[in-house]
Amino acid sequence: MAERNGRTVRDLRRANRTAVLQRLYFDGPLSRFELGPATGLSSGSVSNVVADLVADGLVEEAGSVDSDGGRPRTLLRVAPGSGHMIGVDVGETRVRIELFDLTLTELARAERPLGQRRYDVDVIAGHIRDGVAEVTESAGIDPARLLGVGIGVPGIVEHTPQRGAVVHGQTIGWDAVPLEELLRAGSPLPDTVRYFIDNGARTLGQAEMWFGGGRGARNAVVVLFGSGVGACLVTPEVEHGRAVEWGHLTVRVRGRRCRCGALGCLEAYAGAESLLERWREEGGRPPEDADEETALTAMLAAAYPAGGGTADPAALAVLEETAEYLGAGLSDLINLFQPERILIGGWAGLQLGSGFLPAVREHAAAYALRHPAEQVTIDLGRLGPDAVTVGAAILPLADFFARGGRRPETTPEGPAPAWRTVLEERAGR
């Protein structure tokens, strides 16, 4: 039966379940009495919804708390083992696959280093399929019971009704790659388990906004600083977060050739790949046959030797120049979007660490307009190197919330927008 606003009783029940689940998840444990004002539901509705969620195994008791003069109130929480998600980070040096319970506690992980064929599409798809099988088997989880697999990838992700998620990754040679379709071919997962594919900077941003340094901010930018650079923008107008190709902002006319093919992109100066290339051009000697993470560690050690040794002037000069380019790039974000916070994550950003930040802040302030520059804080992200996988796992988790804690019986045709609504609501808090 439909109400006057077009919503059915089933829609109302699902919305009520979603409201209770979200409040328990982010603010719990809570009593039934506290859930009323927290969700805007009547005490009767709260009791009915809680009873359903307990019967479904999604909510459990978590002790009690004294009340004013009455009997103790039972506290409730989301049951950690009532659902499992997988998060995947298709990174520059490896594919990382992690299995989480419903409270995003890691249960198992697998990593697949990327060699010379690192962005071969079939290789990446194979790593993801094998990693999903490995972590579910390691944890003893039935793959058919997964809430979904979230995947963070480089590039622009287009969701199409015919082919699912299609990735446009110009910097890695992916031209309209139907990744979701490829993963389905030979997948160990049944069709009822969905793939949620999005830009890696966006999944990083989502994790920091839900659980990290972005909590409580309505205007924020989360920067992914790895082999290249990208960013996720969160504003009141873009509450669910939007990946922006910030690394391909032109910072120097007729400048260095970027790996995207254009000249003068920020990524050609501020990404780890270009940073190491510029060090080599200046006479630096990264370890032979080392991956980018190892090479950057060596560069930092050369620029800032332990024990007061002599610094490599080429490494130091390149790092100082990189700090200026990165600060100038951040100033564009400050002028355009006036964020409250900028958080720098990604493996390279975390390696460069807090010692790199003062110079970046100084240059950002110098290049930005004074008023917005005075309003913003620039810090490192708080979730460490696993932030992209955590953010990727949030995508099926948000879909689960949007369904009121019910699993889809079949894979919906085309992109399902429901999970984005939950992301928007959470980001706006």
pLDDT tens digit sequence for 86-112: 999 998 778 999 999 998 999 999 999
CA dihedral 109, 114, 117, 123 (to 10 degrees): 0
Residue 54 vs residue 2, higher pLDDT: 54
Residue linked to tokens 């003068």:
264
Structure-token pair, residue 367: 């290049």
pLDDT digits (tens, 9 = 90+) for 11-20: 888 889 999 9
CA 402 to CA 302: how far, in whole Å?
A: 50
pLDDT band for position 324 (cuts 50, 70, 90): very high
- What pLDDT was estimated at residue 429? 47
Mean pLDDT of 316-323: 92
pLDDT band for position 412 (cuts 50, 70, 90): very low
Sheet of 59-65: strands edge to edge?
30-31, 73-78, 59-65
CA angle 388/389/391 to nearest 5° reads 65
Q: Is the pLDDT of residue 185 over 90?
A: no
Across the chain, mean pLDDT equals: 85
pTM exceeds 0.75 for this model: yes
Mean pLDDT of 109-123: 82
Structure-token pair, residue 408: 């889809």
Structure-token pair, residue 92: 């520059």
Sheet of 174-177: strands edge to edge?
156-160, 164-169, 174-177
Mean pLDDT of 41-67: 87
Mean pLDDT of 186-191: 81
35-39, 137-141, 163-167, 248-252: which range is least confident on average? 248-252
- What pLDDT was estimated at residue 4? 52
